[in-house]
Structures are given as C-alpha cells and as structure tokens.
C-alpha cells in the first residue's frame, strides 16, 4: 500500500492538525536553521583553504602515487562541500520562483541530463508522458526533486539483473470541487524498501545508503509540499520502488 510521506493532501497545502512526526520534523528544521550559518563559516572556509593548497601540491608533484592521493583528497573535500551545501539548502530554503512551467519539457530536459550517465551504467531509462497543460510551480525546485528521485532510482538498480528506471506523467482528475493534479511517477526495478523503513523515508538524516546523508529526499518532500503537493511511496521487496508526486494543477 502506498505510503504518504508528507502527511498532507493534494486538496490542501496546510494541515491544521499536524501529526507528531511532522511536528518533530519542523523542530529539527528550526534547530538546524539556528546553527546553519555558523556551521557554514566554520567548515567551508578551512575546507576551501585545504583544497587550494592540495591542488597547489598536486601541480608541483610529478606523476605517481602521491598525485593520486592528492586527487583523492580533493574529491573528498568536494564531497564534503556538497554535503554542507545540501545541509544548508534544507536548513535555510530560498524563496521559490513560481512560473508557468511545461512539466513535460522539464522532465525531458532532466532525463537528457542523465542519459549519458545511464548509458555508462547500462541503465535503461524509460518514459511515458501524457500531454500535460502548463502549470504554475517552482520549476527549478521540481527539477531538483526529479534529479534526486532519479539518482536514487539509478542507485537502487545498480546491482539488479534488470536495470530499468522509468518516468510516467499524467493529469489525474480529483474529486468535485478540487483542483486537478499532475501526477509524476519515478519507478525502478531495484531491490525495494523493507516495510519497516517506509515510514522513515524522507525524514531528515534517515538513509538506507551506506554513505547517504538523508537530506536529498527530505529536501524533495519539502519542495513538493511548498508547491501544494505531496509524495507517496509504493515499494515491494524484490520488485522495486515507485515514488509518486502529486502537484496541484494551477493555471492563470
């Protein structure tokens, strides 16, 4: 059965009776926000310095194991900077820019960005996009959500016999008196998510990956909620996982 990780509805952007889990999530976000600026200053500045001197040493050394070690250090520093950046994006989200967006175009552009990586990893990237009307939403934010979900799907099929990632999109008719919704599904043929982990997916710092930060999906859920929608998860161990985005259809 699909799990609604955002505890919200397509019909409403706000729930006056927030669940205990949602309140805990908000408290975590507030606590992070208070410390984010100081943490960024304390960590990013020395990392930039270390990276600069490491690159300088790399340029002065001849080819050999030493240069390989230095390149490894630079790569790891870049990874740390990326983690810090994602942390700050979650703690201090910017005001989204709402614009008229053709989601089919946006999905197509996002898939094109990942096509080379999928080819190298021998992943089949499938898509089935029904005609969609333009809608007002945070286009850059939704693109980030799609990239996060697609990268997760690609990671999920890495060791699968069938490496298939698929994207579907359509308009779903809601109940009378409610706005229609645009539905985007991102599915994979990976190993699936154990039932005991489903309710925790999307919570800050929870990750099933060995080196995951637990921030990518948390950011994604927050972006979708800001756009008046929510995300559901349907997963079966041994068969795969599908994330379904519901976005309100907003016209001029």
Within this chain, do residues 84 and 119 fall inside the same structural domain, yes or no? no
User: Which band of pLDDT confidence, cut at 50, 70 and 90, is reported for residue 9?
Assistant: very low
Within this chain, do residues 76 and 143 fall inside the same structural domain, yes or no? no
Does position 202 have pLDDT exceeding 90, yes or no? no
Does position 52 have pLDDT exceeding 70, yes or no? yes
User: Which band of pLDDT confidence, cut at 50, 70 and 90, is reported for residue 206?
Assistant: low
Within this chain, do residues 143 and 184 fall inside the same structural domain, yes or no? yes
Q: Read off the pLDDT of each residue in 199-220 and give the average, rounded to a whole number.
A: 65
> How would DSSP label each residue in the chain?
--EESS--BTTBS--SS--HHHHHHHHHHHHHHHHHHHHHHHHHHHHHHHHHHHHHHHHHSPSSHHHHHHHHHHHHHHHHHHHHHHHHHHHSPPPP-EEEE-HHHHHHHHHHHHHHHHHHTT-EEEEEE-----EEEEHHHHHHHHHHHHHHHHHHTTT-SS-EEEEEEEEE--STTS--EEEEEEEE-S----HHHHTTTTSTT--SSTT--S-HHHHHHHHHHHTT-EEEEEEETTTEEEEEEEEE----
Q: Read off the pLDDT of each residue in 216-228 and give the average, rounded to a whole number.
A: 84
User: Which band of pLDDT confidence, cut at 50, 70 and 90, is reported for residue 217?
Assistant: confident
Do 139 and 106 form a contact (C-beta atoms < 8 A)?
yes
If one counts the domains in the chain, the total is 2
Tell me the C-alpha distance between 79 and 90, whole Å. Answer: 17
Tell me the C-alpha distance between 191 and 238, whole Å. Answer: 5
Within this chain, do residues 160 and 244 fall inside the same structural domain, yes or no? yes
Tell me the C-alpha distance between 98 and 136, whole Å. Answer: 6
Higher-confidence residue of 224 and 202: namely: 224
The percent of residues above 90 in pLDDT, for the chain, comes to: 31
Q: Is 74 left (phi over 0), alpha (psi -120 to 50) or beta?
A: alpha
Within this chain, do residues 143 and 213 fall inside the same structural domain, yes or no? yes
Domain boundary among 65, 91, 117: 91
Domain containing 229 equals 3-13+97-248
Within this chain, do residues 127 and 142 fall inside the same structural domain, yes or no? yes
Which of 146, 82, 153, 143 minimizes the C-alpha distance to 121? 153
Does position 183 have pLDDT exceeding 90, yes or no? yes
Within this chain, do residues 223 and 140 fall inside the same structural domain, yes or no? yes
pLDDT at 130: 94
CATH value at residue 8:
3.30.565.10
164: phi then psi, degrees, rounded to nearest 5: -125, 130
pLDDT at 1: 47
Domain boundary among 53, 68, 91: 91
Query: What's the Rg (C-alpha) of the chain?
Result: 20
pLDDT at 76: 82
Does position 192 have pLDDT exceeding 70, yes or no? yes
Higher-confidence residue of 176 and 19: namely: 19
pLDDT at 153: 94
Within this chain, do residues 162 and 115 fall inside the same structural domain, yes or no? yes
Within this chain, do residues 103 and 178 fall inside the same structural domain, yes or no? yes
Higher-confidence residue of 2 and 147: namely: 147
Higher-confidence residue of 54 and 10: namely: 54
pLDDT at 188: 95
Domain boundary among 73, 91, 109: 91
CATH value at residue 51:
1.10.287
Higher-confidence residue of 195 and 94: namely: 195
pLDDT at 205: 56
Within this chain, do residues 212 and 240 fall inside the same structural domain, yes or no? yes
Higher-confidence residue of 88 and 1: namely: 88
User: Which band of pLDDT confidence, cut at 50, 70 and 90, is reported for residue 163?
Assistant: very high
pLDDT at 37: 59
Q: Please list the residues that pair with 169 across neighbouring strands.
A: 129, 184
Tell me the C-alpha distance between 35 and 58, whole Å. Answer: 34
Within this chain, do residues 177 and 241 fall inside the same structural domain, yes or no? yes
pLDDT at 13: 40
- Tens of pLDDT, residue by residue over 65-120, are 677 788 888 888 887 777 777 666 666 666 678 899 999 999 999 999 899 899 99
Residues contacting 56, CB < 8 A, separation 6+: none
Give 26: exposed, middle or buried? Use CB within 10 Å, 0-12, 13-18, 19+: exposed
Within this chain, do residues 152 and 187 fall inside the same structural domain, yes or no? yes
């Amino acid at each position: 059965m699909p799990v609604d990780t955002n505890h919200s509805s397509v019909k409403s952007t706000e729930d006056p009776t927030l669940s205990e889990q949602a309140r805990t999530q908000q408290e975590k976000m507030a606590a992070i926000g208070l410390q984010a600026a100081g943490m960024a200053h304390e960590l990013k500045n020395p990392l930039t310095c270390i990276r600069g001197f490491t690159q300088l040493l790399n340029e002065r050394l001849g080819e050999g194991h030493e240069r390989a070690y230095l390149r490894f250090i630079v790569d790891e520093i870049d990874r740390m900077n990326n983690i810090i950046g994602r942390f700050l994006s979650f703690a201090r989200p910017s005001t989204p820019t709402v614009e008229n967006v053709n989601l089919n175009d946006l999905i197509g552009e996002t898939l094109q960005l990942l096509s080379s990586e999928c080819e190298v990893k021998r992943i089949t990237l499938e898509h089935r996009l029904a005609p969609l009307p333009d809608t007002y939403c945070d286009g850059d934010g939704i693109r980030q959500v799609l990239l996060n979900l697609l990268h997760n799907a690609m990671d999920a099929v890495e060791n699968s016999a069938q490496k298939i990632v698929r994207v579907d999109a359509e308009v779903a008719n809601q109940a009378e008196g409610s706005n229609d919704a645009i539905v985007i599904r991102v599915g994979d043929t990976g190993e699936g998510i154990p039932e005991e982990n489903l309710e925790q997916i999307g919570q800050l710092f929870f990750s099933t990956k060995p080196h995951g930060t637990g921030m990518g999906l948390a950011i994604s859920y927050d972006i979708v909620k800001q756009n008046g929608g929510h995300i559901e998860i349907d997963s079966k161990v041994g068969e795969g996982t599908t994330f379904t985005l519901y976005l309100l259809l907003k016209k001029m």
